Amino acid sequence: MKKIVALFSGEGTNLANLIEKIHLKHGAIVGAITNNPDAGGIAKARSAHIPVEILDHRDYESREAYDVALVELIGEYNPDLVVLCGFMRILTPIFTTQTKAINLHPSLLPAFKGARAIERSFESEEKICGVTVHWVSDELDGGDIILQKSFTKNPSDTLEEFSAKIREIEYEILPLSVIKILND
């Protein structure tokens, strides 16, 4: 069975979705790593008996030093794929050149790269919005696109309603992307 390491920073809703749809069906999530000791995803991973590693970025003097430790930790699991599901770190070439990884981004890339993508997309004049899964590369949110799904923005939606549509698409296309990659 192919091995996956998941990286997350927050509540872990996409991690929980991957556990439900992928874990022990299409691949094994052999480890979950977070940079946030208070991340809600820690409990979600542990409840599925997935080992969790907390690698707090504040314990490192630079992004590069953190990425060296992160790559080393990932290497201990020898994964076939690393999945960034809400991992809120800008990664350096130390990570991007040594790790086969995909990222989930809540916009139709190349639009709204980086932080606050949902809010920026919601506030924009764009009529079509969506979600992207892409390969991690040296360029922030710039790697080759694996899968995208869009929807037509409803001008009467609140940010909460808009965010819920984004999440629904995330829950659909991230597992599909992982399955596609593991089967290729």
Give the count of beta carbons closer than 10 Å to the beta carbon of residue 45. 26
pLDDT score recorded for residue 48 = 97
With contact defined as beta carbons under 8 Å apart, do 131 and 106 qualify? Answer: yes
pLDDT, position 166: 97
User: And the tokens for 114?
Assistant: 């980086």
Structural domain boundaries in the chain:
3-183
Any catalytic annotation for residue 57? no
**What's the pTM?**
0.95
pLDDT at res. 145:
97
Low-confidence ranges of the chain (pLDDT < 70): none
pLDDT score of 170: 97
* Residues contacting residue 49 through CB under 8 Å, at least 6 positions apart: none
Contact partners, residue 7, CB within 8 Å, separation at least 6: 32, 33, 34, 35, 70, 82, 83, 84, 85, 87, 101
The proportion of the chain whose per-residue pLDDT surpasses 70, expressed as a percent, equals 100
Rounded mean pLDDT of the chain?
Answer: 97
What pLDDT is attached to residue 180? 96
pLDDT at 79: 98
Give the residues across from 27 on adjacent strands.
Answer: 23
List the beta bridge partners of residue 130. 150
**Of these residues, 23, 26, 49, 105, which one is catalytic?**
105
Q: What is the CATH number of domain 3-183?
A: 3.40.50.170
Residue closest to 36 by CA, chosen among 14, 19, 59, 16: 59
Q: Per DSSP, what are the bridge partners of residue 54?
A: 34
